[in-house]
A and B are shown apart, each in its own frame.
Chain A
């Protein structure tokens, strides 16, 4: 990382959103190789390497312009917005109820293969599968966003303290982070999610994982490590910068320097990792609910919709599995593509 710094420095000052390559743990991102200056965007600099771009303030417009160039990411963002909108207004958009009273009218519609009336078909009880998928998506997206927000809060808190104060604080916090990374994630999630009355050391109770807030809490409790590491790494190099020294000389307190000077310069990698965390959390929630440890029927989730229809594998009713899973797959894929686009836009030097 250090060998790429000098060339990069003026950009950091000019645009205010400069970021180094996230040296993270995600397999795909780790793979983001730093090869020379492949996609370094020369257009915004003249020959002397002085930025010809407008100064601070319009930096996010620059990021936006670079993001738009990543066509798959833009398409993914549009899909996400449309699907998210449909899910959010599912009860308005869909003519069906996701859990209708089982009248004979509804039951007459049972086991309908996909058609214009029921694009994803209907289940054994005549419920429209598309409506159920949309309602499940509400929870998936809510959980994904919630986990990202909570993980960022925890990760930034731990990472910034470790990176800014260094020394003993740093080693203690980072050893703890490494330790949490060693724990088998899905097993711990299962054990905690299966606890009917979870509490924090008997001090206060927190909601069980069968509800959205509880699910967000336990997923975020195991999802902050990558962000903490990134923030720490960024802080370690940023705290040596002259402007930090200047702030210190002016008498700014530690928290103020962290909040006003260091964090704004770390926004890029945090946003990228938060996006990837959204995708990972959506997958994790679906997996837990599939294994019976998360959202419980009659509340729907993409995971329990699939486990509920598991017995239809090998029959003509298998579409009941195919559509919820396909939705889950495409949503996570889109989220990851948006993350990839953001990474390219925020950190033009790291190419995959």
Chain B
């Protein structure tokens, strides 16, 4: 087992290095020119040249890469061009905010997806199964930003009118006044709901298919033939063995969530990694973009690794390959 994990970790180090190069290239070569952004308001013809020198953009790309990575590894992530705030500090704070949202969304969606998947797999091609299949299709086609606005329209404003309360039941923005547990969930409810639409749609299909595969295998038939009740076979044997696939997908998606909450955070005016990037891109604050991409990349690769390891732990057959 240790050997397997060691091998996986060793395999992800070159991926990390190559990904950092790709990200660097993407941002520097295809993103907006930081010198141009800095000199937007300036009429000085020399401004851009000076800015290029100050920001170290006159060096060759490989040189720039090594300078940047050297600083990055040492924890020197630079300062925001707009607010002079330390980039490392902003990212640390926003990572925490995003983690909370991601945590509840994954917990909520994972539970629902598991239940839906097991239900559909144990009654394939039943009416309920078709209903959930249709809902999954709807979830995948749902524009996140539009669904978010709909929840604000109906669950914040119209629900409040319906109930006739002074305060909305679900907040559409972080509530600065309340700080209790109830308020915490009143402001998290809608973002979690919006995120869960796509997560549940994907994950429940995944759970259904892996569960169906298990339920069609020989050992399940043997267990049934021995006289074990259906319920026990489904929940104990089928579920347990089908979980490894779901756990892997969830781990993969969790990694992507750290950089993927841009829309949800924007709709609900929440601080977090998504809002940080969006404001950096909108304000031409290029100093934030590179460290942001690298941190998100590290998370994605880290969770890829976790998915690999989890798969090996849950399914011993994988380890032998």
Contacts and interface: CB of A to CB of B under 8 A. Distances in A.
Contacts of B293: 184, 187-188, 191
A131 B278 CA distance: 31
A267 interface: no
27 contacts: A27-B206, A28-B201, A28-B205, A33-B212, A34-B213, A178-B15, A179-B15, A183-B26, A186-B260, A186-B262, A187-B277, A191-B26, A191-B31, A191-B281, A192-B26, A194-B281, A195-B30, A201-B29, A283-B141, A291-B263, A313-B149, A314-B152, A324-B146, A325-B143, A329-B143, A336-B137, A352-B205
Contact of A31 (B146, B152, B206, B278): B206
B196 interface: no
A276 to B, nearest CB: 9
Interface of B: prevailing SS: helix
Contact of B208 (A31, A175, A293, A310): A31
Contacts of A195: 30-33
Interface bracket on B: 35 or more
B141 A329 contact: yes
B191 interface: no
A198 B205 contact: no
Interface bracket on A: 35 or more
Interface in A282-320: 283, 286-287, 290-293, 303, 306, 310, 313-314, 318
Interface in A167-185: 175, 178-180, 182-184
A310 B269 CA distance: 13
Name, among A33, A184, A201, A328, the residue most crowded by chain B CB atoms within 10 Å (CB to CB). A184
Contacts of B153: 313-314, 318, 321-322
Given A191-B27, A321-B149, A325-B149, A36 B216 contact: yes
A35 B212 contact: yes
Interface stretch (B17-25, B62-70, B78-86, B232-240): B17-25
Name, among B33, B140, B259, B304, the residue most crowded by chain A CB atoms within 10 Å (CB to CB). B140
Nearest to A335: B141
Contacts of A352: 133, 205, 209
A101 interface: no
A32 interface: yes
A26 to B, nearest CB: 9
B143 A286 contact: yes
A322 B150 contact: yes
B198 to A, nearest CB: 9
A196 interface: yes
Contact of A292 (B141, B206, B282, B297): B282
B36 to A, nearest CB: 8
Contacts of B27: 191
Contacts of B152: 313-314
B122 interface: no
A82 interface: no
B109 to A, nearest CB: 13
Contacts of B138: 329, 333
The 3 closest A-B pairs by CB, nearest first: A325-B146, A31-B205, A27-B202
Given A190-B262, A195-B31, A198-B30, A28 B149 contact: no
A106 B24 CA distance: 50
A278 to B, nearest CB: 12
